[in-house]
Amino acid sequence: MLLQLKNISKWVHSGGQKVFLLKDINFWVNEGDFISIMGPSGSGKSTLLNIIGMLDDFNEGEYTFLEEKVHSLKEKHRANLYKQYIGFVFQAYHLIDELTVKENLEMPLLYKKHNASERKSLVADMLDRFNIVGKKDLFPSQLSGGQQQLVGVARALIASPKLILADEPTGNLNSKQGEEIMEIFTQLNKDGVTIIQVTHSEKNMAYGSRVINLLDGKIE
């Protein structure tokens, strides 16, 4: 088992009342899963994804990731954990505008203390694998949306994470570009990478192996 959520709840106080963003969430993920989280706007999909990605805290419950109890870890330790095992893909790509494609790919490696030659070969591999060698010196603004998302995925993968978290990865793309990205995810999943995606689209859902439906912060 890769990770497990037990009775996870998250709430905020609004007008003196507790408003639950997530309530009593229980589920687990095995290595090699391809899970789609679905639900209407405001149902807590992104919050759940952020909690899994350790970007957000929760108020109650237990979260175990590779046997580590995330809820009792210190901030720094937690950061090391997600740095090592998790890659993120965003709807708006979130590439750094001031960096070239190559440098965007290299960035996570810098924070993981790889040496220069390692970084170079890993970046070269990734450029090759995604067929974007010719674009390596371009800046994000010089790429199409689909190409940018390709770089986004490549960046998420570069440090060989066990888990990819994708928040509506095709939300800003046209259908053809979207299909390409989903094909890549399918291929990655076959190679053993666990994927959790948040999506609105039934079509994208079909690529996954398991669906979690959220409504008002609860799993249906």
Partner 1 sequence: MHTLYFKIAIRYLLKNKLYSFINILGLAIGVASFILIMVYVNYERSYDTFEGSENVYRVYMDALEGDVFEASDAQTANLIGPTLKQEFPEVIEQVRLYRFDKVTFKYDGKVIEESRGSLADETYFEVFNYPLLKGDKQNALKEPNTIVLTESFAKKIFGDRDPIKNTLSGFYAGKKVVLTVTGVLKDIPENTHMKTNFLISFDTYGNWFASEEEKKLNWGHCNFFTYLKVDKNADKTLLKSKVIASDFEDDEDERYNIEPLEEIHLYSNKPYEAEANGSISRIKFLTAIAFIVLLLSWLNYINLSTTKSLERAKEVGVRKVAGAQRLQLILQSLTESIVLNGIAIIIAIILTISMLSLYNNFTGKELVIHTSTITQLLPIIGFIVIGVVLAGLYPAILLSGYSPSKALKGKIRTSASGLNIRKGLIVLQFLATIVLLIGTIVITKQIDFMQKQPIGAELNQTISFHGEFLNNITDSLARRKCKILATELQKFPFVYGTARAQTYPGDGYDNLSSFIGIKYPNGTEESKKVFYNYTADSNYLDVLDIQFLAGNNFIDNPKGESNAIIINEACMREMEIFNPDDAINKTVSFFGREWVISGVIENYHHFGLKKGVHPLVILHGNSSNNLLVKFDNTVASTLGYNKAIAQIEEKWKQILPQRTFGYTFLDKKFEAQYNDDKQFGAAFRMFTLLAIFIAALGLFGLTSYTCIQRKKEIGIRKVNGASIFKILKLLNIDFIKWVGIAFIIAIPVAWYTMNSWLENFALKTNLSWWIFVLAGIMALGITLLTVSWQSFIAANGNPVDVLRDE
Binding site for partner 1 (CB under 8 A): 50, 53, 55-56, 76, 79, 82-83, 88, 90, 94-99, 103, 106-108, 110-112, 155, 159
Least Cβ distance, residue 191 to partner 1 (angstroms) = 22
- DSSP secondary structure code for residue 72 in this structure: G
Say if residues 28 and 1 touch (Cβ distance below 8 Å).
Answer: yes
What three-state secondary structure class fits 182? helix
Least Cβ distance, residue 132 to partner 1 (angstroms) = 18
Say if residues 189 and 30 touch (Cβ distance below 8 Å).
Answer: no
Tokens 């106080």 map to which residue? 13
Amino acid making up residue 197: Q
CA distance 205 to 197: 9
Least Cβ distance, residue 90 to partner 1 (angstroms) = 7
Closest alpha carbon to 195 in 54, 30, 7: 30
Least Cβ distance, residue 6 to partner 1 (angstroms) = 22
CA distance 132 to 78: 33
Q: Is 162 or 210 the residue whose CB approaches partner 1 more closely?
A: 162
DSSP string across 84-116: HHEEEEETT----TTS-HHHHHHHHHHHTT--H
Least Cβ distance, residue 12 to partner 1 (angstroms) = 13
Q: Is 97 or 176 the residue whose CB approaches partner 1 more closely?
A: 97
Least Cβ distance, residue 161 to partner 1 (angstroms) = 11
Name the token pair of 4. 């497990």
Q: Is 44 or 207 the residue whose CB approaches partner 1 more closely?
A: 44
Say if residues 61 and 71 touch (Cβ distance below 8 Å).
Answer: yes
Q: Is 55 or 124 the residue whose CB approaches partner 1 more closely?
A: 55
Q: Is 112 or 200 the residue whose CB approaches partner 1 more closely?
A: 112
Q: Is 107 or 205 the residue whose CB approaches partner 1 more closely?
A: 107
Least Cβ distance, residue 168 to partner 1 (angstroms) = 12
Q: Is 62 or 103 the residue whose CB approaches partner 1 more closely?
A: 103
How crowded is the C-beta side of 59, counted as CA atoms within 13 Å? 12
